Amino acid sequence: MSERLQPGDVAPAFTLPDADGNEVSLADHKGRKVIVYFYPAALTPGCTKQACDFTDNLEVLAGAGYDVIGISPDQPEKLAKFREKENLKITLLADTDKTVLDAYAAFGEKKNYGKTYLGVIRSTIIVDESGKVEHALYNVRATGHVAKIIKDLGI
């Protein structure tokens, strides 16, 4: 498991398939700020709430110079279903082998009802225009998270 990212770290580069199978890289967003968020699974209640919140606030975020990318270990086909069903406007990427999740320390030990297991740690990493980590937020809650980001960023 990787060390958690800290502000000032260089954000790990990645290229992953989107819901349509097209390759998307962090480098494609150079010169813009990027909110990269990691979530456990498409089409689940918490992840749906979070993705819908990002979509509902996309204009506000984009207006402030932020792109939004959601990454999960789901297959691209499931991401396409998720996007269609919930009318999502954010970029969803598939990290089926969890290499990017691991590089961002968004995959690791979790505890639930006293059991310890490996899984996706709901996390949000905000990357600045030059590719450096501006904020690294781990173990975030799905509900209210987007509003908190907007408030914390002063948007």
**Closest by CA position to 100, among listed 8, 19, 17:** 17
Active site residue 47: yes
Token duo for residue 26: 């962090």
Out of 5, 47, 61, 133, pick the active-site residue: 47
Q: How far is CA 78 from CA 21, 46, 53, 114, 131, in A?
A: 11, 16, 19, 30, 29
Q: Which two tokens stand for residue 83?
A: 């996007």
Annotated active-site positions, please?
Answer: 47
